[in-house]
Structures are given as C-alpha cells and as structure tokens.
Structure 1
C-alpha cells in the first residue's frame, strides 16, 4: 500500500558492542498509529534493498538489537520502514552503516581456553540437557586443569547459582588451573562467552585470580532455554548469547600454576560458550 501518509523514519543511530549492533531511531509522532517498524539489513557498507530477503525483524519499539554477530567485528547496513495500522508503509529511512566490536578472541593470543568461541555449548559436560545430573557428577563444583582435563567430561555446560533448586540452592565454584612457563607480557584479558542465561535472575559471580578478588561479573538476562538447547547459531534459535570481556589487573598471573576462580553466589545459572585468557601485545 502507498506510504504517502506515513512519514519516513529518521534519526537512525547505531552503537556497536561485542557480538551485536544496537540500532535505534526517532519514533513517529503519536498521531501516526504505528503497527510496527520493519528493519532491513545486509552485511557490508553498501546499500540495502527493502525486500523480504533482507527483513531482519518487525518491532513495535524504535529499537533493534542485532545479536549473534560473533567476535570478528561485523559491519552491517540498515534501513527502517514504518507500517501503520492500515498496512500503509512509509518510504525507507536513509541507510545506516554500523559495526560491532572486535573481540579479544580475534585480536589476542590465547593463553588458555576451555571450549570453543562458536556460539555453541555442545562440547561441555552434560550438554545439551543433562543439568539434572550435575549434583551427582560435580558435587564439589568444577576443578579443571587446562591442557590435561577434557571439557567434555570436566567442565559443566551450566554453572548454577543459589537460586537453582535442582543444584541444591547453594553457591557453586568453578576453578580453572593454568600452568604458565613465564609471566605474560602485555595486557591479559578474560573472555567469557555465554550461549544463554536465566532470563530474570542471571545474577553475578565473583572472579578471583590466585586468591585475589578481581571483580564481580554481572550477567545479562538470557532466554532461559540454554538448559536444554546447546546451539545458538541455528536459524530461529531461542537462545540469547551474551559476552563478558575485561582486562585483568597487571601482576596477577605468575610463572607456574595460576588459578582462576568463578564463584556463582548470586542468582541462577549461566550456560557456557567458552572461557579463556588472552594476551594483547
């Protein structure tokens, strides 16, 4: 239908974050009864054709979070069309090009990694749906030595918290032991990727390195589906991945054994994609 009476969307802005691009725009005046906004996009810096093959989402909000873009840093171009209650469509907005941030998993050098940064948690123990076996399999949490232990048997895909009745409603600690030949040169970063987390109470965890408390890591709410689904890359996946990457204070890592400890003493479970330490020169 003609879009003569539906104003074009203006004010598109893009904010690149790790693994995603947030696109928002100026909402149409209240006098226009908007049924939804249609967001179109294609990879790269060229223009985007407003056609069904490029439709990314329909939303009633003047905002779209484009997720699942990975860690390499992705560039996309977007246009938005407003559709009113009668089905009339506006002209497409002006194009907007934006880029997501590059992950340290792409730009850094790995010191130790458990899992694969691939949007999947299928390589971990008990995945994709064996969480009920966690209390018997890991009664004392996780104590994992990099280079010796296997993620398929030694690292649980879910890290429960005290809100989880199936895991005893208590604190759960995961330890990663890393042996280093020498003190790393340059910056050291933690890269913790999740394929999903509990939607309403993902909570937080305390990060310790060699007995020194570094930070309390706060997790984003997910889709509460990662307890039974292990792949966020499939078309139409219900999972909601999130990412935590932060630089570690200098001087914490030593030559010899190092122990990274994540203590989940708040909220419910998180579902791992991968966890690792990286150096940046």
Structure 2
C-alpha cells in the first residue's frame, strides 16, 4: 500500500495586479518533500519546493480562481489535495478607469520611450537636468527616458534623479484619481524606492519589486521566454492634491538602482 505524504494546511492567498500569491503551512520535516504541486481546478500551474508560490501573468481584469496544493515526496507519492482557496487577482485602473494623462503605452513594452532599448549610457547627455515631461506637448520617444536611474548607477553619475510629469486639469476632480506605474523590469537586487510628490506635497515612498536586471537592454516583457520581470504599482491619489490648471507629479529616485518603465498614467474613476 502506498504511503501518502501529509496534505498541506493553511492555504491562503492574496491578489495583486496580474498576480496571485499563495502561502501555506509546510509539512513536517519528517517528510522528504520533492515539491509542492499547485493547481487551479485540475490544471497544474506550477511547482515549488517552498510553501509559497506566485502565479503570474494573470492579466489585468480581476478573475477569481480556485487553488489547491498537493505534496509530492521524494518517492513520487502524492498527498491528498489541500482545501481549496478562492483568490482573485486585482483589476487594474488601466481597465476600470479613464486616462487623464499618460506617458507610454500600457502594453508590457518600453520601446516607445527615449533611449530604449539599450541607450542608458546616453542619459547624462540627453537629460542633464533629468526628465521634465509635459503631457500633450512632450513626445515619449524624445522626452521620457525608458529608465529612471538611481544613486547606485555609476553610468548616471551615482546621484539622485527626478522624473517630472506635468499635466493640466480643467477642474479639481470630483473623486480621487489613481496612479498607474507599470515597469517592464528593475534591478534584481537594488530597485529600492522613490519619493512620490504631487504639486509639492510628498504623498508616499514607492517601493519597487526587484526585477531581473535585463530591462536596461531589452524592451519587451511580453514574448515567450522573456527574461524580464515586470511589476505593477497602482495607488489612489486624493482629490485634494490636485488643482484646476497646471499639476505636477514627481518621482524622486533617491534609493537604489534604475527602474525600466512600461508606462505611467493618472486615471479618473468611472
């Protein structure tokens, strides 16, 4: 009679833009685990040796999926299935909202931006006073660098850098607006953070996920086998931050290394 390894317990998950993250209580060390097999319904979506799994590439409209996990031991024996966990990825504001001002296209590519795909060494000469972009007047291919460098980047002067994004509003918004900052990649260990400011008010310190350190020379995260590690940062911006007329959003990169843009945008709510 085959001895089944124990089933895992405590499976739970959390959704984000394009991803679901699962965690569970690992089985006892007495069991020599080869891997945990992760399923959506009856479809295997991944294997891991850790009690943790990130299901990526789920798109930008929220969908609830039913996950379960099976323990597989070193002899190939399989446990009973864990209890199911229903988890939804989040709907992006690029789907649910209306664009107010954007730079770049939210498509997993950065090729439409200045210096892309691998001209980062030209940043100091092209942007000696950093990026200053006006929506409706500036041109992405000329005026918005595909990378925002940080103080860890010797090629950009080993100093802090700022990206300034200017846009007009006909009136103070009636509801909060939303920021979407999509990256095709970032430095694998030094992505760190940047300070977000709107009209001179510090709103937040944005922490970036570590990427694959490939986005400085590759502009496309969408093709099969792409080595890039895209990430998606979205957050509300209180309506009180904005004014009728000229508005200014700034990203001040005072920690770590570069991030590689997919696109940046301000969205209103439907």
TM-score (norm 1): 0.88
1:165-223 deviations in Å (ceiling 9; x for gaps): 11110111111110222222211121111122112221211222222222222222222
Mapped partners of 2:105, 2:37: distance in 1: 34
Q: For residues 3 and 172 of structure 1, do their structure 2 counterparts lie closer, same or farther at Cα, with a shift above 3 Å needed?
A: farther
Mapped partners of 1:38, 1:156: distance in 2: 41
Mapped partners of 2:197, 2:9: distance in 1: 46
Ranges in structure 1 where 5+ consecutive residues have no aligned partner: 42-47
Ranges in structure 2 where 5+ consecutive residues have no aligned partner: none
Match of 1:87 among 49, 63, 76: 76
Give the match for residue 68 of structure 1. Answer: 57
SS in 2 for 1:191: strand
1:228-255 deviations in Å (ceiling 9; x for gaps): 2222222233222222222223322222
Greater CA deviation, 224-233 or 159-168? 224-233
SS in 2 for 1:224: coil
1:277 to partner: Cα distance: 0.8
Give the match for residue 98 of structure 1. Answer: 87
Give the match for residue 254 of structure 2. Answer: 265
Mapped partners of 1:277, 1:58: distance in 2: 37
Q: For the Cα contact (< 8 Å) 1:3–1:89, is it kept in 2? A: no
1:63 to partner: Cα distance: 0.9
SS in 2 for 1:133: helix
Match of 1:154 among 131, 136, 143: 143
SS in 2 for 1:61: coil
Q: For the Cα contact (< 8 Å) 1:185–1:279, is it kept in 2? A: no
Runs of 4+ in 1 over 6 A off after TM superposition: none
TM-score (norm 2): 0.92
Matches within 5 A, 1:107-256: 107-256=96-245
Give the match for residue 18 of structure 1. Answer: 17
